[in-house]
Amino acid sequence: MNKDEILKRSVYTGTHLLEGNVAMAEGCIAAGCRFFAGYPITPQSEVPEHMAKRLPEVGGVFMQMEDEIASISAVVGATLTGKKAMSSTSGPGFALMQETLSWANLIEMPLVVANVQRVGPGSGVVSLPTHGDITQIKRGGNGEYEVIAIAPNSCQELFDLSIVAFNLAEIWRVPTFILSDAWLGHMREKVVIPEPEEIKKRIVPRPEYIPAENETEGRPQIYTTANKDFTEFNIPAFPPLGSKHFPYWWISLTHSQISGMITETPSVADNTNMTINYKISKNEAKISIVKRYQLDDAEIAIITYGTPSRSALEAVNECRKEGIKVGLLRLVTVWPIAETAIREVAEKVKQIIVPEMNLGQIAEQIERFAFHTDGQRIPVHRVSHTAILHTPKEIIDKIKEIIQ
Amino acid sequence: MSYSAPRGKENITPHPYGTNTQMHKLMGFPFTMFCKGCGYGSIAQAICRVFKEENLQEELFPFIVNIGCYSSMPTVLPGKTFMTLHGRGIAVATGVKMANPKLKPISIHGDGDLLSIGTNHFLHGARRNVDMIVILLNNNIYGMTGGQLAPTTPMGSKTSTTPYRYGEEPIDAVELAKVSGATYIARWNTSTIRDFMKSFKKALHHKGFSFIEIVSQCPTQFGHKNNLPKALDGFNFIKNNSIRINKAKDMSPEELKGKYIIGEHLDIDRPTLWDRKSQIIEKLKD
Ligand SMILES: Cc1ncc(C[n+]2csc(CCOP(=O)(O)OP(=O)(O)O)c2C)c(N)n1
Ligand code: SF4
Ligand SMILES: [Mg+2]
């Protein structure tokens, strides 16, 4: 098969009625994913099932591994060897992946993991949605690291934003997460998939390692370097395993960002942590994707992400009909937290409402930025519950309650 | 193991295959971080010799190095190495092999690593017959973390976590590899390095999951606690407790208790994981 044939096969062009999990899998394949390793778990099992069918058609490999630890380890191996690779899982499986995800962050691996969230803790409720893993995504592993997480709210977006997730992983060289949930994953909606040529324009390919440009003193420069103030970052391509330029010893211990070698020097270890964290958090404004709706004259802002943003949109429309000045800031990327956009909104409104399918994991973050320019704190109201979808009515009721 | 590398060329013991190591290429001299008398040095040297004799293209035979004292082995290994987490090497290598089937990963494990935390991957790697080599460095102990009980520790040995010599039944990695489906299996020790080299060469040419265990002395952690403080004590203990496979055939299970049966245990052919995956990809092409 030549490249054109593979591209053609990888894009399921047309207008379809697709299940969320399938739309996401199609988005990932269109994005260039050619290796998938996973383990069955409800409510994401349709993802590996679809991958098993589709990946060999495009010359890719599907692996059902022995557990989620093996799955994410194999994804690291495949990514290092030059393939775009991913895994998908749900709550308990995601917890098992944390040690490896922490390592993948340390070594700046551009891989993708989809978490089709279900109710937890423990074995939870397998078929009900919750966004209980939001904090775990970046605080679940050992050490400290920043990730990118993207939260679609429809089957169309599960397709489109999966491509964006793979792109962000490549651009920022960081594990990137697609946040779905039991409800979204099992819902069926219309999905329009454009022609392969159109998709091709959207894809960021794996950057090629060029020795002349990526070497420091004759050694491959495999990690990101930053200037002293961590305002500028050089994120290099890395030589894949199997190539002549692969370093002789790529370690899993804390390394020097410059030499890639083991370090026990506190300042060097500190620099590594700062670099991998600030690479994402200080570039928040460049990475974040948000959608603004009716915010220009809003006195109340709803800030939310994922599934509840659908109910929130409905609530805004209903309130506007009654003349209540409400707007919506939808966080399409949940991590890094969209500080710039949230501050901008907070400065203009009087109150903020955060509907979330957890007990306020992002509301806690928003509270950090909920100030007017004069330093006045503005109230952040939660509409929090787990396992239950938000109805537009309960959000409207909350709005009416707080404007009393 | 010590992380403090020797500080100058004058402190280096001459290493016959030193020029073949990556550290030599990089720093101009080879060094190991192993304790004096550790068996791991001779194993690394044997691996270097095989790489040289076989004239291997190093990037096609990447080492996947797991977590234990051997994590620092890359200083005296010949090729490219990728260090993983404790026990995960075979899972990582499976991803590597499926992403680039031209490569033949060589995963280096300790007994704690392969037979405790990473056992699941061992079973399934063998079952799938991933075309790779697994080398188990069995020193009967958790060396790096301070001499705790390993799943291979002989019954009744003293370790940091069995101060009263309480023991658990040790596991036999060769038997485990057999029932799991490995297609080339051998066990050697540090007194049969030449045999190990032959096996390693065979494994390099074998298509499928090769497993080679090599029993190695650990004077620092196992030896000191078990009246085998010198390198030669441990070396001889292992040597004297090893029995060639053809001899073992005529011995009773009682006689074989606590013995290492060394030799080539299996060499068969079976389609590898990639054989099966590539067949499907080929079939779907038209
Ligand atoms: C998840 C995890 N648990 C524990 C450790 C600590 N640890 C490092 S090496 C090691 C044991 C190594 O034993 P073995 O594999 O036999 O290697 P040896 O040091 O004996 O060569 C342990 C438990 C770790 N690195 N990661
Ligand atoms: S502790 Fe044992 S296995 Fe580890 S380097 Fe020292 S002698 Fe070798
Ligand atoms: Mg050991």
Q: What is the CATH number of the domain that holds A324?
A: 3.40.50.920
Of the candidates B136, B28, B111, B141, the residue with the CA atom closest to the CA atom of residue B75: B28
- Give the pLDDT of residue A214: 81
The residues pairing with B261 across neighbouring beta strands, listed in sequence order, are B243
**What CATH code is carried by the domain that includes residue B81?**
3.40.50.970
Are A114 and A175 members of one domain? yes
Tokens 């994953």 -> residue: A185
Residue B140 lies in a domain: yes
Q: Which residues of A touch B96 (CB under 8 A)?
A: 77-78, 80-81, 241-242
Shared-domain flag, residues A357 and A296: yes
Query: pLDDT of B238-269, one tens digit each?
Result: 999 999 999 999 999 999 999 999 999 999 99
**Average pLDDT over every residue of B62-66:** 98
Is residue B194 exposed (0-12), middle (13-18) or buried (19+ Cβ within 10 Å)? Answer: exposed
Q: Is B27 contained in some domain? A: no
Q: Judge if A306 and A178 occupy the same domain.
A: no
Cis peptide, bond prior to residue A110, ω within 30 of zero: no
Identify the nearest ligand to the CA of B66 by its number: 1
Total structural domains within chain A: 3
Q: Tell whether A301 is covered by a domain.
A: yes
Question: If DSSP codes are grouped into helix, strand and coil, which group holds residue A157?
Answer: helix
Strands A219-220 and A380-384, how do they pair? unpaired
Residue B148 CA, ligand 1 centroid: distance in Å: 10
Judge whether B210 lies within some domain: yes
Q: Are A189 and A238 in the same domain?
A: no
Neighboring chain A residues of B95 at a CB cutoff of 8 Å: 35, 37, 63, 73-81, 85
Which residue among A78, A246, A264 sits closest to B95, beta carbon to beta carbon?
A: A78
Please judge whether B22 and A249 are an interchain contact, meaning their C-beta atoms are less than 8 angstroms apart: yes
Answer yes or no: is A24 within a domain: yes
Average pLDDT, stretch B67-73? 94
pLDDT per residue over A272-315, tens digit each?
Answer: 999 999 999 999 999 999 999 999 999 999 999 999 999 999 99
Q: Give the ipTM of the model, two decimals please.
A: 0.97
Considering the domain architecture, whether residues A385 and A315 belong to the same structural domain is answered as yes
A-facing residues of B in 33-62 (CB < 8 A) are: 59-60, 62
Q: Would you tell me which residues 264-283 of chain B have a C-beta closer than 8 angstroms to some C-beta of chain A?
A: 277, 280-281
Write out pLDDT tens, residues A36-53: 999 999 999 999 999 999
Q: Is pLDDT larger for residue B76 or for residue A267?
A: A267
Residues A94 and A229 in one domain: no
Q: Which atom of ligand 2 is nearest to the CA of B137?
A: 3
- From the CA of B35, the nearest ligand is 2
Q: Give the residue on A whose Cα is nearest the Cα of B24.
A: A248
The proportion of chain A whose per-residue pLDDT surpasses 90, expressed as a percent, equals: 94
Residue B93: inside a domain, yes or no?
yes
Q: Are the C-beta atoms of residues A196 and A26 closer than 8 Å to each other?
A: no
Taking only the tens place, the pLDDT of each residue in A142-165 is 999 999 999 999 999 999 999 999
- Separation between Cα atoms, residue A95 and residue A354, nearest integer Å: 26
pLDDT of residue B2: 40
pTM for this model (two decimals) = 0.96
Residue B10 domain-assigned (yes or no) = no
A210 falls within a domain: no
Give the Cα separation of B151 and A11 in Å (integer).
49
Q: Do A73 and B88 touch (CB under 8 A)?
A: yes
Domain extent for A394:
290-403
Asked whether residue B84 carries a pLDDT value surpassing 50, the answer given is: yes
Structure tokens at A106: 């340390």
Give the domain-ending residue among A284, A302, A327.
Answer: A284
Q: What is the dihedral of CA A287, A291, A296, A301, to 10 degrees?
A: -100
Q: Are residues A125 and A192 in the same domain?
A: yes
Output the residue whose Cα is nearest ligand 2's atom 8: B38
- Model pLDDT, residue B7: 46
B132 found inside a domain: yes
Q: Which residue has a Cα nearest atom 1 of ligand 2?
A: B143
Q: Is B156 exposed, middle or buried (0-12, 13-18, 19+ CB in 10 A)?
A: exposed
pLDDT tens for each residue of A204-231: 999 999 988 888 777 889 999 999 999 9
For residues A99 and A192, state if they share a domain: yes
Is residue A17 in a domain?
A: yes
pLDDT in tens, A326-374: 999 999 999 999 999 999 999 999 999 999 999 999 999 999 999 999 9
Nearest residue in A to B281, CA atom = A56
pLDDT at B54 over 60: yes
Residue-range definition of the domain harbouring residue B219: 51-285
Looking at the fold, whether A395 and A268 belong to one and the same domain comes out as no
Q: A39 burial class (0-12, 13-18, 19+ CB within 10 angstroms)?
A: buried
Residues A189, A178 contacting (CB under 8 angstroms): no
Peptide bond into A121 cis (omega under 30): yes
pLDDT given at position B6? 44
Is B138 near ligand 2, meaning CB less than 6 Å away? no
Res B76: pLDDT: 87
User: Domain for residue B46, yes or no?
Assistant: no
Predicted pLDDT of residue B14: 55
CATH of the domain at A110: 3.40.50.970
- Tell me how many domains chain B contains: 1
- Rg (alpha carbons) of chain B, rounded to whole number: 19
User: Quick one: A164 and A254 in the same domain?
Assistant: no
Per the domain annotation, does A207 fall within a domain?
Answer: no
Choosing from B142, B215, B218 the residue with most ligand 1 atoms within 8 A of its CB, the one to mutate for a pocket test is B142
Contact B236, B83 (CB under 8 A): no
Whether B40 lines ligand 2, by a CB cut-off of 6 Å, is yes
User: Looking at the structure, do residues A15 and A89 belong to the same domain, yes or no?
Assistant: yes
Mean pLDDT for A188-196 is: 98
- One domain for residues A273 and A378: no
Each residue's pLDDT tens digit, A105-114: 999 999 999 9
Distance CA A320, CA B45 (A): 77
Q: Are A113 and A101 in contact (CB under 8 A)?
A: yes
Statement: residue A20 has pLDDT above 80 = yes
Residues B96, A78: C-beta atoms closer than 8 Å: yes
- Does A254 reach chain B within 8 Å, measured CB to CB? no
Confidence of residue B12 (pLDDT cuts 50, 70, 90): low
Find out whether A75 and A49 touch, Cβ atoms under 8 Å.
no
